[in-house]
Amino acid sequence: MLNTMPRTVRLTVAELLEKKGWSTAKFAEEAHLNYNQALNIRRGAYNRIDLDTIARICEALEIEPGELFIFENSETP
């Protein structure tokens, strides 16, 4: 039987920043993002993210793109 639970892709930025001990300001500076953009990414408050931004995040965090994403079950109200 197939799993019919809705799934979503999310960024693991919050966990990666916690592991590095980085503030949002440090993340914004290293990834060349404005503070509000960095904060929204950290909080998961985004609908889209472009490839250039993904590349800058990966370079700043010294990770490969596959380490940036997680596929998980969606929480439904």
Amino acid at the residue 14? A
pLDDT value of position 72: 87
Residue 16 sits in a domain whose CATH number is: 1.10.260.40
**CB-based contact 22:7 (threshold 8 Å):** no
What number of H helices and E strands is found in the chain?
4, 2
At residue 74 the predicted structure's pLDDT band, cuts being 50, 70 and 90, is: confident
Within a domain: 56: yes
Within a domain: 40: yes
In angstroms, the CA 50 to CA 58 distance is: 13
Instruction: Quote the domain boundaries for residue 23.
Output: 10-65
User: Does this model's pTM top 0.75?
Assistant: yes
Kindly report, residue by residue over 3-61, the tens digit of the pLDDT. 677 888 899 999 999 999 999 999 999 999 999 999 999 999 988 999 999 999 999 99
Within a domain: 2: no
Within a domain: 47: yes
